[in-house]
Every structure is written in C-alpha cells, then in structure tokens.
C-alpha cells in the first residue's frame, strides 16, 4: 500500500498495489472465491438460457435453440387465461397476508423475549420457538389438518370458550383457507424470523434504557421510544428483502391442504406451473419469468421508496 499526497490540498490518497507476493499470500482465499463464482455461473446464470423457451414453441426434439420462435405468444396466452388471473390474485393475497403476519409476530415476539430477565426461561422459549422451522411442511400440514379438523383442537377450544356452538368444517369453506395458511406460516417461522430482531435489540446501548428508566419511563415507553426505533433500519431492510417473496406465497401448504372446494382460493403460481408447465414447457417458463419480473419490480420499487424517505435500503 502506498500513501501519497494529491495537489496542494494536502489530502491523503491511499493506493492499493496488487503484487505477486500478495496474490500468493491470498491464493487459498482466491481459489475458494473462484469456486463459488464458477458455482454461481454454472447453476444460476447458465440455466437462464432456458428462458428462451418462453419465446418459442418449444419441442424437446428441436432443443432450446432450435424450436420455432413465437415471440410473446405464451405471455399473451397466460393473461388471457382466467385461471392464471385467479392464481395471481391468490398468490399476491396469501403473499401479502403471510408477509404482514410473519413480520409483525416476529417483531412482537423478539421484543417480548428481550424483556424476559430469566436467562434460563428465555433460552427454553427460544429453543421451543425455533423447532417448528426445522419441520417439513409435510409434517406441519398434517398437524394443521388435525388441529383444524371438525373434532380437532381448534374446534374444541372455540366450543369450550362458547365462541361457537357447533364445530366448523374449516376445510369446506374457502373464506378460512388464507387465514389458515397465515397461521401455519406464523407458527412455523416466528421463532426463526425473530433471531435477527433479537440480535439487533441486544446491540442497542443499555445506557439508553438506564437513562430512560431514571427519567421515569415505563417498560412500554422504553419499548416505544428506544427498542422500536433501534430496530427500525433492520425492519426496513428485511421488509425490502422479503417483499420480493410476496409472489412466492408457497407451494407445499397450498398443494397439500387446498384440495376439493378450496382449489379456487388455494392455487398459486407455483402450482399452476406444476399443473400446466409439465405439459407445456414454454407456458411454464413464461409463468416463471413473470414471477421473477414481479419480484424484481417490487424490490426495486420499495428500495426506491426507502431511499426517498431517507430510510435504510439495500442499494
């Protein structure tokens, strides 16, 4: 590294010089980084060549680059299909509900857990809350199906509390499906999603809480004026990152629970691609490109809004 002065301003300019000695010293790190770059190119960028199928009448015998080009025919077919329009509605609705529910519960859980003073109790609650994240959706949907069955735990609880008189067949009414999906996601992911918020809360200067307590601030006032502002930037960054997943509302839980009468409200874009994309690769690819475009647009839009409002942003 060389240090020099530029002009008459006296400012110091740092210049990094890459030498053979430095390359040899960092050779192991460069090799590891190179392997990851190659992995990314092979498994993330080269497969994008398959996107050309969305603009052609793909035939397996002709291959990706030999099939007849048809322009935007399959995109037009998608948006003329009433099923696909319904699928978009379902996907966006469940995606937004899941995002709001999981974000609010994760923040609330992290704040409440940070207020627990018993270290052993705190660790036990944390461990229990993390466990559902590691369960397969197959297991989770089985638990949800049993819990919301006519003779399941939810109906028994509501009946015993006098909220309902007769058990509800939750999986026979479309209006209950989206809330059930949201509850399933909250139960499975709240503990895991709260980890980052907990880490951010522990990084807040304890002297701020001590000063607030000396000034007579109660627990809720300390949460409102110190904890929440302290994790604001983390909330915004995670929201921007997760907003792109709104269009990825899910596949397993909708596919496993959304059968029969629930099909009109349970089908997502992923299920649509499975059902129709296996018969028509070009149509399935077009639907996948649409998902990617929406995700990128949402991320860029909310990142731009964060920039305009002066909040933290991704880039």
Q: Which residues contact 304 (CB under 8 A, 6 or more apart)?
A: none
Average pLDDT, the chain: 89
Q: Which domains does the chain have, with CATH numbers?
A: 2-69 (no CATH), 81-308 (1.10.3720.10)
The model's pLDDT over 98-119, given as tens digits with 9 standing for 90+, comes to 999 999 999 999 999 998 888 8
Nearest CA to 261 out of 149, 154, 170, 139 is that of 170
Across residues 71-88, what is the average pLDDT?
A: 93
pLDDT at 14: 47
**Which letter does DSSP use for residue 231 in this model?**
T
| Angle, alpha carbons 257-177-267 (nearest 5°) | 60
Whose structure tokens read 């300019």? 13
pLDDT at 2: 46
Q: Is the pLDDT of residue 137 over 50?
A: yes
Contact indicator for 232, 240 with CB cutoff of 8 Å: no
| Angle, alpha carbons 41-45-47 (nearest 5°) | 115
Task: Please give the Cα distance from 188 to 252 (Å, whole number).
Answer: 13
Task: Please give the Cα distance from 57 to 75 (Å, whole number).
Answer: 12
Nearest CA to 52 out of 77, 76, 78, 70 is that of 70
DSSP string, 178-218: HHHHHHHHHHHHHHHHHHHHHHHHHTS-HHHHHHHHHTT--
Task: Please give the Cα distance from 204 to 231 (Å, whole number).
Answer: 9
Helix (H) or strand (E) holding 5: strand 2-6
């Amino acid at each position: 590294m060389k240090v020099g002065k530029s002009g008459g301003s006296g400012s110091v300019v740092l210049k990094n010089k890459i030498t053979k000695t430095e390359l040899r010293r960092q050779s192991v790190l460069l090799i590891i980084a190179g392997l990851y770059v190659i992995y990314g190119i092979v498994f993330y960028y080269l497969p994008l060549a398959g996107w050309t199928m969305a603009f052609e009448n793909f035939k397996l015998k002709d291959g990706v680059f030999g099939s007849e080009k048809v322009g935007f025919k399959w995109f037009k077919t998608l948006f003329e299909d009433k099923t696909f329009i319904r699928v978009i509605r379902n996907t966006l609705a469940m995606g937004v509900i899941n995002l709001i529910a999981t974000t609010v519960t994760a923040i609330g859980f992290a704040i409440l857990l940070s207020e627990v003073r018993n270290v052993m109790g705190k660790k036990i609650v944390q461990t229990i809350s993390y466990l559902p994240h590691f369960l397969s959706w197959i297991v989770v949907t089985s638990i949800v199906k049993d819990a919301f069955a006519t003779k399941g735990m939810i109906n028994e609880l509501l009946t015993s509390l006098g909220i309902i008189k007769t058990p509800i067949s939750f999986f026979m009414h479309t209006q209950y499906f989206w809330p059930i999906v949201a509850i399933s996601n909250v139960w499975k992911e709240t503990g895991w999603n709260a980890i980052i918020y907990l880490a951010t809360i522990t990084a807040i200067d304890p002297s701020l809480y001590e000063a607030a307590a000396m000034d007579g601030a109660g627990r809720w006032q300390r949460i409102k004026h110190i904890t929440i502002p302290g994790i604001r930037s983390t909330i915004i960054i995670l929201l921007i990152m997760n907003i792109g997943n709104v269009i990825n509302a899910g596949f397993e839980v909708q596919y496993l629970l959304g059968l029969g009468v629930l099909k009109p409200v349970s089908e997502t874009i992923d299920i649509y691609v499975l059902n129709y994309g296996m018969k028509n690769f070009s149509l399935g690819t077009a639907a996948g490109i649409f998902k990617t475009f929406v995700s990128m647009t949402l991320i860029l839009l909310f990142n731009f809004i964060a920039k305009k409002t002066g909040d933290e942003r991704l880039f």
